[in-house]
């Protein structure tokens, strides 16, 4: 099903901007991009998509009902892809109120407005309409050494961030079952790639390494994540909104489990090749183990076999290729990350849960 008019929330963020860039470059869709432009939103991340006649941008808060009603009424979307969210665990520890407001209240507001809009469509338009809610594997809690999350895994959120995302997932399903709103959901593993805000592990490590600073690794570095390149994720999102079954959830993972220490070491190895230190030593010598994050989940892993089986999706990037091109992108795009670091975030430690 080709979708002609797509409303993307959070489209100036990391995953949202990757999705918008793909929609503009690889489809004929009209895209209405709604983003509040908080610290993590950046219009520079939209690159050439921002200047396309098929892209329109609105700086607006998804909690602002009148603004959302106006956008739905004037743009008349055939699908909503809802990515707007506060997303960093450490920030949720320090300040959970923003997460509750955006992730819970904002999703409720968007659902309520979308439902009223959907009810006003004719029968054919109602059948083709989709509300795609984009979520995280963190809602499932923490795994031990074995097993993986899939669409049947019980929810067990452990941080303020994951609790608010779990709440938003439940709201979306409730609106489907109670009001009939045609929804699809996705839960993804950790994303990485170009245009990633540098509070997250991979970009933070790259930028600290080239600045000659210590590379902080939480605890003993043994916590495990499944890494998914953001462009692979965007391809999955497009497939799900176009072909996913109504009311269904699809897990999206990169088949790339790594410990945090392995991730940092892989970045160091790439930098050793692309930008050798002047003293000839490895960037690994800058690694320092620091006090662990409070309540740090041990391991996440995604079983994406349903997505592969039903929609034919597979990640195109291996972790080795993805991390190499990500490091290369940051080395080649200092203007983008320098402007980010000159703003609200300077690479300081977050999420220490100080009273």
> Is-contact 311 239, C-beta < 8 A?
yes
What 3-state class would DSSP assign to 197?
coil
pLDDT: which is higher, 339 or 287: 287
Alpha helical stretches, state H, the chain? 14-26, 65-75, 89-94, 96-99, 107-119, 123-128, 160-179, 201-210, 230-243, 260-274, 305-311, 319-332, 334-341
- pLDDT recorded at residue 8: 98
Give the Å distances, CA to CA, from 24 to 46, 166, 186, 325, 342. 10, 30, 21, 22, 29
Would you kindly state where each structural domain of the chain is located, as residue ranges?
5-197+229-255+301-316
Please say whether the dihedral angle defined by the alpha carbons of residues 327, 330, 331 and 337, taken in this order, is positive or negative.
negative
Residue partners of 346: CB distance under 8 A and separation at least 6: none
On the question of pLDDT at 354 being above 50, the answer is no
pLDDT: which is higher, 145 or 127: 127
pLDDT tens by residue, 99-139: 999 999 999 999 999 999 999 999 999 999 999 999 999 99
On the question of pLDDT at 88 being above 80, the answer is no
What 3-state class would DSSP assign to 194?
coil
Q: What is the mean pLDDT of the chain?
A: 93
- Average pLDDT estimate for 258-281: 98
Give the Å distances, CA to CA, from 202 to 28, 105, 113, 268, 283. 33, 30, 36, 11, 14
On the question of pLDDT at 351 being above 50, the answer is no
Catalytic residue numbers, as ranges: 137-138, 161
d(CA 296, CA 107): 26
On the question of pLDDT at 164 being above 90, the answer is yes
Residue partners of 66: CB distance under 8 A and separation at least 6: none
- Reading the block at residue 312, the tokens are 């034919």
pLDDT tens by residue, 48-70: 899 999 999 999 999 999 999 99
> Is-contact 135 165, C-beta < 8 A?
yes
Question: For 5-197+229-255+301-316, which CATH class?
Answer: alpha beta
Please provide residue 69's backbone torsions phi and psi, each rounded to the nearest 5 degrees.
Answer: -60, -40
In this prediction, residue 297 has a pLDDT band, given cuts at 50, 70 and 90, of confident
- pLDDT recorded at residue 339: 86
Classify strands 224-229 and 257-259 as parallel, antiparallel or unpaired. Answer: antiparallel
- pLDDT recorded at residue 111: 98
> Is-contact 260 218, C-beta < 8 A?
yes
- Average pLDDT estimate for 197-218: 94
In this prediction, residue 200 has a pLDDT band, given cuts at 50, 70 and 90, of confident
- pLDDT recorded at residue 343: 64
Q: Which long-range contacts (CB under 8 A, 24 or more apart) does 66-73 make?
A: 68/34, 68/109, 68/110, 68/113, 69/113, 69/116, 69/117, 71/7, 71/32, 71/34, 72/7, 72/113, 72/114, 72/117, 73/117
On the question of pLDDT at 347 being above 50, the answer is no
| Residues forming a β-bridge with 227 | 190
In this prediction, residue 90 has a pLDDT band, given cuts at 50, 70 and 90, of confident
On the question of pLDDT at 353 being above 50, the answer is no
């Amino acid at each position: 099903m080709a979708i002609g008019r797509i409303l993307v929330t959070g489209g100036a963020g990391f995953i949202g901007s990757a999705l918008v860039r793909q929609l503009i470059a690889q489809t004929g869709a009209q895209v209405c991009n709604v983003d509040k432009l908080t610290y993590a939103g950046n219009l520079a991340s939209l690159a050439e998509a921002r200047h396309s006649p098929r892209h329109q941008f609105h700086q607006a808060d998804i909690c602002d009902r009148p603004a959302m009603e106006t956008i739905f009424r004037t743009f008349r979307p055939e699908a909503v892809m809802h990515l707007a969210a506060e997303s960093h665990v450490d920030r949720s520890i320090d300040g959970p109120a923003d997460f509750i407001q955006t992730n819970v209240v904002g999703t409720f507001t968007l659902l309520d407005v979308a439902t009223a809009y959907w009810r006003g469509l004719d029968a054919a338009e109602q059948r083709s309409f989709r509300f795609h809610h984009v979520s995280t594997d963190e809602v499932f809690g923490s795994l031990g050494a074995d097993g993986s999350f899939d669409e049947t895994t019980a929810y067990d959120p452990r941080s303020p961030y994951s609790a608010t995302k779990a709440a938003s997932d439940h709201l979306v399903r409730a609106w489907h079952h109670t009001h009939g709103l045609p929804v699809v959901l996705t839960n993804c593993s950790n994303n990485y790639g170009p245009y990633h805000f540098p509070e997250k592990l991979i970009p933070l490590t790259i930028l600290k390494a080239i600045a000659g600073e210590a590379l902080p690794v939480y605890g003993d570095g043994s916590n495990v994540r499944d890494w998914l390149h953001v462009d692979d994720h965007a391809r999955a999102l497009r497939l799900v909104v176009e072909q996913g079954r109504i009311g269904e959830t699809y897990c999206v993972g990169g088949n790339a489990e790594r410990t945090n220490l392995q991730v940092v070491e892989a970045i160091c190895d790439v930098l050793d090749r692309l930008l050798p230190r002047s003293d000839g030593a490895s960037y690994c010598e800058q690694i320092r183990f620091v006090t662990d994050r409070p309540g740090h989940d041990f391991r996440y892993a995604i079983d994406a076999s349903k997505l592969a089986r039903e929609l034919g999706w597979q990640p195109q990037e291996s972790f080795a290729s993805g991390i190499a091109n990500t490091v290369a992108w940051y080395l080649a795009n200092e203007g983008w990350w320098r402007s980010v670091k000159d703003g609200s975030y300077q690479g300081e430690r977050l999420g220490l849960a100080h009273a």
